[in-house]
Structure 1
Amino acid sequence: MVYPSLRDWLFSVKTFAAAMTALYIGLALELPRPYWAMATVYIVSNPFVGATRSKALYRALGTMLGASAAVLLVPPFVESPYLFSVIVALWTGTLLYLAVSDRTARSYVFLLAGYTMPIIALPSVTNPTGVFDLAVSRTEEITLGIVCASIVGSALFPSRLAPTIIERTDAWFRDAAFYATETLSGRIAGSAVSGARQRIAATINGLELLLSQLAYDHTRPDVLARAHELRGRQQLLLPIMSALADPLIALYNSSRQTWPEGLESLLADLIEWFNEPMPAVSEGYHPDPTADALRERIAALQPPPSALASWDGALLSNALWRMKQVIDVWQDCRSLRIIITREEGSWRPRFRHWRLGGTERFYDHGIMLFSTGSAAAAVVLACSLWIGSGWNDGASAVTLAAVACCFFAALDEPAPFVFRFFVATAISVVAAGVYLFAVLPHVHDFPMLVVMFAAPFIFVGTLIPRPQFNLATVLVAVNTATFISIQDAYDANFFVFLNSNLAGLAGLLYAYVWTRVTRPFGAELAAARLLRSSWADVALTASTRPIDDPRNLAARMVDRLMQLIPRLAATDDHRHPSIESFRDLRIAFNALDLRRLTRKLGGEAPAAIDHVLDDVRRYYESCVARRKREPVPDSLMSSIDAAVARVTVQGLANAGAPSATSQTSARQLRDALHALVGLRLALFPATLIIPTPPEPEAAA
């Protein structure tokens, strides 16, 4: 068992102090529900001051938005209960859709507004004239808790978010170094490699939210920009490393399981460089001599144009080209990490590519609409059951059902988390009952109340920073504070307490059954939809349809791949879907490269390349239409081999030309050759052993 650290204890004591301060001020100001101020402190508090500030700001905005909606909608529709239920559901579903459409901390505004409106509106249906007072008091109580949490968190031993981002980044570097070591050693599959791949993707996905909170951590804009640039290059390392693996394996096999001269030692030194520890101290940007030496050795091993006519020469050129990209990306990541750690220094990027700079993200709008529509339908049905039964405390059931459905709408399998919500709330009911009827009758002043609350709340608070306990402990703290319902005078009724809290538990149990019935699909459905969407984008890259911004298309495809990898289980299979998905991405990138190059190449090569792209498009359109990955037709291999032959012949013809134009054309032809070889290796991974492309003379 791992005991709470000093940082955990400090966070818990600070949060408890802020909660008691908020409760005391709420009682002094005679707010109707001062316990909401206490509960809000536990909702918005975070071990890091930047996250606390962002969450506090967005909770305040979301609460005011939801409260305003309740004030506007309750009076005109309260006399039509079923219509009012639909309006509440539409509001909740719409705001929830906006929340899941935003993967930054800003999404908290929409989430809060989505379920704050029914929390205020539904209990007001029996007294619509009091909805304004309820909305104002609710906003005041929550704002009080927000202010107390923010001031205490910022003033007393503030803990910055930047060191945690650096810790996450260091974990990424360790996993990436292991993944690179295995890949460069020829091991692209296996549970260890797949596990590293999944951890790398999970780290990159988690950094997106953390970076959106970093701006509230007094981080300078230039350092924040460097952090985003680091994440962008972290995303690209996996696809580029995957693109390097296949030519290395093919080269090793085609050379009868031996490396070309000089390549084995180069790979060994590259592995050693990947595993070098991060420099502890550095000022500004410093060129890495090891990286420069590796690039010089790559240039020395580059085969001459005449060697590219052979398959081994084409493979070697492709592998060396990808290897240089890997070195550039890794050096950039190391340099950026140093700058972020020191919060100073200049930087000159080594990896420069058209794929960088895209900002588009991938969203599965179909799944999002279904998830939010399911939450809205749950609210409508719950309201109908409440109206039909005439249960006085039914509003509590509906509100907690709405909160549970909103909290976990973005998850592939929300039902298990809703059940944890139910269990944590049941524990809170028991704890609140013990306090309310056994402890509070003996409390006569506020200091004694603080003493009675201190031990359990501080202990629970030490578990909040731990991800595995965060959900349960926050719910226990918040619900216990809410269910006790501290007022300026003791007034507890056992039957009222039991009836209202049983209603809340019934609402959570209803939410669990609802999500279990309406969303039984799990991650399999999401993964299948992600795969089909990626196939559609591959078909787009190989088509003649216009693409508004190739950089945004590339960013969307990489982002989708990072979402897909954590959904795929670890396996020892070389044909595992995660590996296949990397190959799909590489096919798309190579197709985009070829589309850009065909406009600049002359001779017969563009026609052959266009034929390849057309075959790639038809293949992936067939996969999308049939909703499964089809076998790649052999005719596609023949068209790729013919295009390779055309490009090599044209490259040989230009090799001896002294003009600058011919040299530029030769470089573009080499890039086209690399893209074609990459396509062949990605589409036909089972043929990585000595393929037999047609002779250049026959194709000329």
Structure 2
Amino acid sequence: MVYPSIRDWLFSVKTFAAAMLALYIGLALELPRPYWAMASVYIVSNPFVGATRSKALYRVFGTAIGAAGAILVVPPFVESPYLFSVVVALWTGTLLYLAISERTARSYVFLLAGYTLPMIALPSVTNPGGVFDLAITRTEEITLGIVCASIVGGAVFPSRLAPTIIERTDTWFRDAAFYSTETLSGRIAGSAISAARQRLAATINGLELLLSQLAYDHTRPDILARAHELRGRMQLLLPLMSALADPLIALYNSGRHSWPDGLEALLADVIEWFNAPLPAASLGYHPDPSADALRARIAAMQPPPAAMASWDGALLSSALWRLKQVVNVWQDCRTLRIIITREEGSWRPRFRHWRLGGTERYFDRGIMLFSTGSAVGAIILACSLWISSGWADGAGAVTLAAIACCFFAALDEPAPMVFKFFTSAAASVVFAGIYLFAVLPHVHDFPMLVIIFAAPFIFAGTLIPRPQFNLAAMLVAVNTATFISIQNAYDADFLVFVNSNLAGLAGLLYAFLWTRVTRPFGAELAAARLLRSSWADVALTASTRPIDDPRNLAARMLDRLMQLIPRLAATDDHRHPSIESFRDLRIAFNALDLRRLTRKLGGEVPAAIDHVLEGVREHFETCVDQRVRQPVPAGLMASIDTAVARVTAQGLANAGAPGATSQTSARLLRDALHALVGLRLSLFPATLTTPTPPEPETAA
């Protein structure tokens, strides 16, 4: 068992102090529900100042929007209960959709606005004239808790978010070094490397939210920009390393389980450099002599044009070109890591590519609409049951059902988390009942109240910073504070307590059953949809259809891959979907490169490349239509081999021509050759051997 650290205890004591301060002020100001101020402290508190501030700011905005919506909705619709239910559900669903469309901390604004309206509007149906006062006081109580949490968290031993981000990146560096070592050693399959691949993708995804909170942590804008640049480079390493693996394995197999001369030593030195500690910092630019030496050796091993006419020469050229890209990206990551840690220095990116610069992210709009539609349906049905039954406390059931559906709508399988919400609320009801009827009758002043609250709330607070206990501990603290319902005067009624809290538990149980029935699919459905969407984009890259912005298309595909990898279980199968998905991405990137190059090449090469792209498009469109990955047509291999032969033949023909034009043409042909080799290895990974020469064309 891992006991709470000093940092956990400090966070818990600070949070408890802020909660008691909010409760005291709420009681002093005679707010109707001062316990909401106390509960709000536990909702927004985070071990890090930046995260607390961002969450607090967005919670204030979201609460204000939801309260304003309740004021607008209740008076005109309260006399039509079923229409009122639909309006409330549509409001919540619309804001929920906006929340899951925003993957930064700003999503909290929409989430809060979505479920704050039913929290205020539903209890107001019996007294619609009081909705304005209820909205104002609810906003005041929540804002009071937020202000107390922000002040105490920022003034008393503040903990910055930046060191945690550095710790996350250090973990990523260790996993990346292991992943790269395995890949450069020729091992691309296995449970260990697959698990490392999942951890790398999960770390990259998690950094997106943390970086959106970093701006509230007094971080300089230039350091924040470098942090975003680092995350972008971290995304690139996985597909680049994957693209390097196939030509290395093909070279090893074609050489009868041996590397070409000099390559083994080069790879060993690259592995050593990947595992080397970061160099000592120096003011200004951070040079890396080891990376410069590796690039020089890679350039020296580049085969001449005549050698690239053979398959082994083409493989070696492709492997060296991709190895240089990997070295450049890794150097960028190391340099950015130094700048972020020491907050000094400048950056000159080593890895440059025409596809870089896209900002588009991938969203599965179909799943998002289904998730929000499920929440809307849950609210409408719950309201209908409440209206038809005439249950006086039914508003509490519908409210907690709506909150539970909103909280976990973005998950692939929300039912287990909703059930955890239910069990946490049930535990809170028990704790609250013990306090309310056995302890509080003997409390006659606020200091004594603080003393009796200290032990359980401080203990629960130590669990909030720990990911495995975060949700349960936070829910127990928030629900217990809410269910006790501290007021200025003790006025507990057992029947009222039981009825109101059983309503909340009934709403959570209803939400669990609803999500279990309507969303039983889990990660498998999400992964399958991501795969089909990826195939559609691969077909687009190989088609003649116009692409608005290839850089955004590349960014969208890479972002989708980072979402897909954590959904795929670790395995030792070299045909596992995670490895095949990397190959799909490489096929798309190579197709984009070929589309760009055909406009600049002459002779017979463009026609041969177009024939290859047409075959790639047809294959992936078939995969999309059949909804399952199909075998690659054997004729596509022959088309690629023909295109490779024509590229190398034209390269040999141009090799003797002097001048800058010839050098440009040679570079373009080499890039086309690398893209074709990458296509062949990605489409036919089981045939990483010498290709069959194309049959000579006969005269018509």
The question of a shared fold, defined as TM-score above 0.5 by the shorter chain, is answered with yes
Q: Is the 8 A contact 2:286 2:346 kept in 1?
A: no
- For residues 90-138 of structure 1, the C-alpha deviation after alignment (integer angstroms, 9 at most, x for no partner) is 0000000000000000000000000000000000000000000000000
Q: How does 1:609-624 map to 2 (within 5 A)?
A: 609-624=609-624
Change (3 A) 1:698 1:284: farther
- For residues 177-198 of structure 1, the C-alpha deviation after alignment (integer angstroms, 9 at most, x for no partner) is 0000000011101100000000
Alignment-derived partner of residue 164 in structure 1: 164
Distance 1:293 1:110 in 2: 51
- For residues 189-234 of structure 1, the C-alpha deviation after alignment (integer angstroms, 9 at most, x for no partner) is 1100000000000000000000000111111111111111101110
Structure 1 counterpart of 2:446, which letter? Answer: F
Give 3-state SS (helix, strand or coil) of 1:540's partner: helix
Alignment-derived partner of residue 219 in structure 1: 219
Q: How does 1:473-512 map to 2 (within 5 A)?
A: 473-512=473-512
Q: CA deviation at 1:696?
A: 8.6
Q: Is the 8 A contact 2:415 2:512 kept in 1?
A: yes
Structure 1 counterpart of 2:416, which letter? Answer: P
Distance 2:591 2:319 in 1: 18
Q: How does 1:454-465 map to 2 (within 5 A)?
A: 454-465=454-465
Q: Does 1:379 align with 2:395?
A: no
Alignment-derived partner of residue 339 in structure 1: 339
Q: How does 1:624-643 map to 2 (within 5 A)?
A: 624-643=624-643
Q: Does 1:523 align with 2:511?
A: no
Give 3-state SS (helix, strand or coil) of 1:160's partner: coil
Distance 2:627 2:506 in 1: 40
Give 3-state SS (helix, strand or coil) of 1:468's partner: coil
Distance 2:586 2:626 in 1: 22
Structure 2 counterpart of 1:546, which letter? Answer: P
Give 3-state SS (helix, strand or coil) of 1:304's partner: coil
Q: How does 1:305-324 map to 2 (within 5 A)?
A: 305-324=305-324
Alignment-derived partner of residue 95 in structure 2: 95
Q: Is the 8 A contact 1:237 1:330 kept in 2?
A: yes
Q: Which moved more, 1:61-70 or 1:269-278?
A: 269-278
The runs of 5 or more residues in structure 1 that have no matched partner are none
Q: CA deviation at 1:352?
A: 0.7
Q: CA deviation at 1:692?
A: 2.4
Give 3-state SS (helix, strand or coil) of 1:337's partner: helix
Structure 2 counterpart of 1:51, which letter? Answer: A
Distance 2:437 2:97 in 1: 42
Alignment-derived partner of residue 395 in structure 1: 395
Distance 1:414 1:115 in 2: 17
Distance 1:8 1:691 in 2: 60
- For residues 262-313 of structure 1, the C-alpha deviation after alignment (integer angstroms, 9 at most, x for no partner) is 0000011111111112235443322111111111111111000000110000
Alignment-derived partner of residue 580 in structure 2: 580
Alignment-derived partner of residue 556 in structure 2: 556
Alignment-derived partner of residue 435 in structure 1: 435
Distance 1:125 1:600 in 2: 69
- For residues 66-86 of structure 1, the C-alpha deviation after alignment (integer angstroms, 9 at most, x for no partner) is 000000000110000000000
Distance 2:116 2:608 in 1: 60
Q: Does 1:351 align with 2:345?
A: no
Q: Is the 8 A contact 1:332 1:351 kept in 2?
A: yes
Q: TM-score, length-normalised on structure 1?
A: 0.99
Alignment-derived partner of residue 148 in structure 1: 148
The runs of 5 or more residues in structure 2 that have no matched partner are none
Structure 1 counterpart of 2:7, which letter? Answer: R
Alignment-derived partner of residue 51 in structure 2: 51
Structure 1 counterpart of 2:229, which letter? Answer: E
Change (3 A) 1:400 1:50: same
Alignment-derived partner of residue 11 in structure 1: 11
Distance 1:354 1:100 in 2: 31
Q: Is the 8 A contact 2:587 2:682 kept in 1?
A: yes
Q: CA deviation at 1:691?
A: 2.2
Distance 2:672 2:107 in 1: 43
Distance 1:603 1:558 in 2: 33
Q: CA deviation at 1:345?
A: 1.1
Distance 1:223 1:607 in 2: 48
Structure 2 counterpart of 1:593, which letter? Answer: D
Q: CA RMSD in A?
A: 1.2
Q: Does 1:292 align with 2:292?
A: yes
Q: Is the 8 A contact 1:232 1:356 kept in 2?
A: no
Distance 1:252 1:506 in 2: 63
Q: CA deviation at 1:355?
A: 2.1
Structure 1 counterpart of 2:246, which letter? Answer: D
Structure 1 counterpart of 2:577, which letter? Answer: P
- For residues 583-625 of structure 1, the C-alpha deviation after alignment (integer angstroms, 9 at most, x for no partner) is 0000000000001111111111011001101110011011101
Structure 2 counterpart of 1:389, which letter? Answer: S
Structure 2 counterpart of 1:566, which letter? Answer: P
- For residues 422-465 of structure 1, the C-alpha deviation after alignment (integer angstroms, 9 at most, x for no partner) is 00000000000000001101111001100111111011100100
- For residues 40-71 of structure 1, the C-alpha deviation after alignment (integer angstroms, 9 at most, x for no partner) is 00000000000000000000000000000000
Alignment-derived partner of residue 72 in structure 1: 72
Give 3-state SS (helix, strand or coil) of 2:468's partner: helix
Alignment-derived partner of residue 39 in structure 1: 39
Q: Is the 8 A contact 1:646 1:696 kept in 2?
A: no
Alignment-derived partner of residue 20 in structure 1: 20
Alignment-derived partner of residue 364 in structure 2: 364
Distance 2:437 2:577 in 1: 57
Q: CA deviation at 1:662?
A: 0.8
Q: Is the 8 A contact 1:179 1:196 kept in 2?
A: yes
Alignment-derived partner of residue 208 in structure 2: 208
Q: Is the 8 A contact 1:645 1:696 kept in 2?
A: no
Q: Does 1:659 align with 2:681?
A: no
Q: CA deviation at 1:659?
A: 1.1
Q: Is the 8 A contact 1:282 1:338 kept in 2?
A: no
Distance 2:492 2:406 in 1: 31
Q: Is the 8 A contact 1:428 1:483 kept in 2?
A: yes
- For residues 128-163 of structure 1, the C-alpha deviation after alignment (integer angstroms, 9 at most, x for no partner) is 000000000000000000100011111111100000
Q: CA deviation at 1:351?
A: 0.4
Q: Is the 8 A contact 1:432 1:484 kept in 2?
A: yes
Change (3 A) 1:696 1:17: farther
Distance 1:694 1:80 in 2: 75
Distance 1:679 1:286 in 2: 36
Q: How does 1:664-679 map to 2 (within 5 A)?
A: 664-679=664-679
Q: Is the 8 A contact 2:286 2:345 kept in 1?
A: no
- For residues 293-344 of structure 1, the C-alpha deviation after alignment (integer angstroms, 9 at most, x for no partner) is 1111111110000001100000000000000000000000000000001112
Q: Does 1:681 align with 2:694?
A: no
Q: Number of residues paired by the alignment?
A: 700
Structure 1 counterpart of 2:344, which letter? Answer: E
Q: CA deviation at 1:698?
A: 8.8
Alignment-derived partner of residue 261 in structure 1: 261
Alignment-derived partner of residue 414 in structure 2: 414
Structure 1 counterpart of 2:216, which letter? Answer: Y
Distance 2:282 2:495 in 1: 67
Q: How does 1:527-542 map to 2 (within 5 A)?
A: 527-542=527-542
- For residues 342-386 of structure 1, the C-alpha deviation after alignment (integer angstroms, 9 at most, x for no partner) is 112111110011222110000000000000000000000000000
Q: TM-score, length-normalised on structure 2?
A: 0.99
Distance 1:575 1:278 in 2: 35
Q: Does 1:86 align with 2:76?
A: no
Distance 2:124 2:257 in 1: 76
What percentage of residue pairs aligned between the two structures are identical? 85
Alignment-derived partner of residue 595 in structure 2: 595
Q: CA deviation at 1:697?
A: 9.6
Change (3 A) 1:539 1:336: same
Distance 1:669 1:363 in 2: 36
Distance 1:697 1:626 in 2: 34
